[in-house]
Amino acid sequence: MKIFKDKHILQKEISKTKGISFVPTMGGLHKGHISLIKQSKKSKFKTLVSIFVNPKQFNKKSDYRSYPRSTKKDLKKLKNLKIDYLYIPTFKDIYGFKPKEKVFIDKFSKKLCGRFRRGHFEGVLNVVNRFLEIIKPRYIYLGKKDYQQLYLIKKHIEKRKIKSKIIECKTIRENNGVALSTRNLNLNDNQMKIASKIYYYLYNLKKRIKKNYNLFNPNRVKKDLRDLGACKIDYLENYNIENFKKINRQNKKFNIFIAYYIKNTRLIDNI
């Protein structure tokens, strides 16, 4: 595993390869990240993982400061996975140049998380656009847990005719059903049990809604989730996962999208 902190040295190295499979992360690596990396390693190209906690996608400085970081543990995991390259850039290395492509922000960025985290997706797309320009990967591996983020990155790549191809990977969950997330490190055992109860409640709700959409009563569901231990719910909505249009009748191709808090930890999922 070769480690790079300077984009110019990295570019010189990867220019010798036939192509790159890219897995962007903010560190705090868990089984979800490891699944993405293993998928990447199956490709015919060399695997490059990045670790960069992007300050521009946090709308609160306190959230950025409290974001879990575990660089030593991450390095050990990546060495065991035998990845080819690790890129750990500085802020200046990422933001010290003007990218050729202007970021395309689809109107769906104003929905769901975009309503509650002002500037979040602009920050995500900004940094992804810069990584794509620096690395020019053949493939970029992204998880479906952050479905809205995945959709918006896909729209940017399509609109700007960027040659990198997105490989969508399934959400990896804990044994208790909770979607794996670096933020889970902020939860104690009791809070993880609450998150598990919320997941199974929504999982069973979706099965019932598929048979009878009229069973979906957002206000009743939110009350039930608060009773289970959710301190605050930013949103709870159903969307068609093919076109991201809101559903209001029987539809098999939908997910329940949620963002909620357990104490100060914000969790998102789509089920």
**CATH number, domain at 228?**
3.30.1300.10
pTM above 0.85, yes or no: yes
Handedness of CA 103, 105, 106, 109 (dihedral sign): positive
Confidence of residue 128 (pLDDT cuts 50, 70, 90): very high
For 176-221, how does the pLDDT look when each residue is reduced to its tens digit (9 = 90+)? 999 999 999 999 999 999 999 999 999 999 999 988 888 889 999 9
- The answer on 101 and 74 residing in a single domain is yes
Residue finishing a domain among 169, 197, 218: 169
Q: Is residue 176 part of a domain?
A: no
Residue finishing a domain among 169, 190, 213: 169
191: Cα separation from own chain's centroid: 21
d(CA 45, CA 143): 19
d(CA 194, CA 229): 6
- The answer on 161 and 116 residing in a single domain is yes
Q: Which amino acid is at 21?
A: S
- The answer on 212 and 138 residing in a single domain is no
- The answer on 221 and 135 residing in a single domain is no
Confidence of residue 253 (pLDDT cuts 50, 70, 90): confident
Catalytic-role residue among 8, 30, 33, 156: 33
- The answer on 144 and 12 residing in a single domain is yes
Which ranges of 112-188 would DSSP assign to H, the alpha helix? 113-116, 120-135, 147-159
213: left (phi over 0), alpha (psi -120 to 50) or beta: alpha
Q: Is 8 a catalytic residue?
A: no
Counting Cα atoms < 13 Å in the Cβ hemisphere of 90 gives 7
- Stretch 158-187: mean pLDDT: 96
Residue 153 has pLDDT above 80, yes or no: yes
Residue finishing a domain among 169, 192, 220: 169
- The answer on 84 and 150 residing in a single domain is yes
Residue 163 has pLDDT above 90, yes or no: yes
Q: Is residue 193 part of a domain?
A: yes
Question: Counting beta carbons within 10 angstroms of the beta carbon of residue 254, is it exposed (0 to 12), middle (13 to 18) or buried (19 or more)?
Answer: buried
- The answer on 156 and 60 residing in a single domain is yes
- The answer on 116 and 57 residing in a single domain is yes
Kind plus residue range of the DSSP H or E element containing 262: strand 254-262
248: Cα separation from own chain's centroid: 27
Q: Is residue 174 part of a domain?
A: no
- The answer on 161 and 201 residing in a single domain is no
Look at residue 64 in the predicted model and tell me its pLDDT. 92
Q: Is residue 251 part of a domain?
A: yes
Task: Record the tokens describing residue 168, joined without a space.
Answer: 């969508």
- The answer on 139 and 192 residing in a single domain is no
Which residues span the domain enclosing 145? 2-169
Helix (H, G, I), strand (E, B) or coil at 201: helix
- What is the pairing mode between strands 46-51 and 85-87? parallel
Q: Is residue 33 part of a domain?
A: yes
- Stretch 106-126: mean pLDDT: 95
| Count of domains observed in the chain | 2
- Name the phi and psi angles at 71, rounded to 5: -60, -45
- DSSP structural state of residue 246: B
**CB 84 within 8 Å of CB 16:** no
